[in-house]
Structure 1
Amino acid sequence: MAWHPAENRYQSMKYNRTGASGLKLPAISLGLWHNFGDDTPHQTKRAICQRAFDLGITHFDLANNYGPPPGSAEEAFGEILRTDFASLRDEIIVSSKAGYGMWP
C-alpha cells in the first residue's frame, strides 16, 4: 500500500525561523543515529520517517558515522528519500556533519 503524507502535517508542529535565510525548522527534528543502521529492518526505518513527516517533522539529522555500520543511516535515508519523499523533497531539510573518523 502506498504511503501518502497527512494533509494536516503542518498544523500542530511549531516552526522557528533560522537566521535571516527564511528557513523554518520544526521544533522537533529526527536524528537518525543508532535506529537507522543495518540492524534495523528497512520497513521500520521507512515507517519512522513517514510517521515523523506526518507529524510535521521536516528536519532529518544524519552524519557520516551514523549506523551501525558507519554510513548505513545515510544510505538508508537516501533510499527513503528516493522511494517515499521524492515528490516532497522541497519540504524536507537534511543536515549532516563530518569530521569524526569512519574508518580505523
Structure 2
Amino acid sequence: MTYNRCGNSGVKLPTISLGLWHNFGGVDTYEMGRATVRKAFNLGVTHFDLANNYGPPPGSAEETFGRILKDDLHA
C-alpha cells in the first residue's frame, strides 16, 4: 500500500480508504462486514470512512465497526 502525507501534520494516509456506508449496517451480516474490514486492514488500509448516519439504520455502521475494532483490531 502506498501512503501519502496529509498536509503539514505528518499524518500518513493510505492511497485507498474503505467507506463503511451501506454494507456495514443492519442490512448485511456482521461476519461479512468483519471479513471485509479485516481483509482491507491486512492489505494496508488504515483509513475507514465512517459517519453517524451510516447504516441503515443510521448509526449501525458505527456499532459494527466498533465491534470489529474491539474484537479484531485492538492493540
Q: Which has the higher contact order (CA 8 A, sep 6+)?
A: 2
TM (norm. structure 1) is: 0.71
Which structure: larger Rg?
1
Separation (CA, whole Å) in 2 of partners of 1:20 and 1:83: 33
CA distance in 2, matches of 1:37, 1:74: 8
- Cα distance in 2 for partners of 1:44, 1:77 equals 12
| 1:4-83 equivalence runs, <5 A | 13-83=1-71
Q: After superposition, what is the alpha-carbon deviation per residue over 1:1-34, rounded to whole angstroms, capped at 9, x for unaligned?
A: xxxxxxxxxxxx1100001111000000000000
Consecutive aligned runs of 4 or more in structure 1 exceeding 2 Å deviation: none
Structure 1: 5+ residue stretches without partners: 1-12, 88-104
Superposition RMSD on alpha carbons, in Å?
Answer: 0.5
Q: Which has the higher helix share?
A: 2
Percent of aligned positions with the same letter in both sequences? Answer: 65
Q: Alignment length, in residue pairs?
A: 75
Q: Give the Å deviation of 1:55.
A: 0.8
In structure 1, what residue type is equivalent to 2:52?
N
Give unpaired runs (5+ residues) of structure 2: none
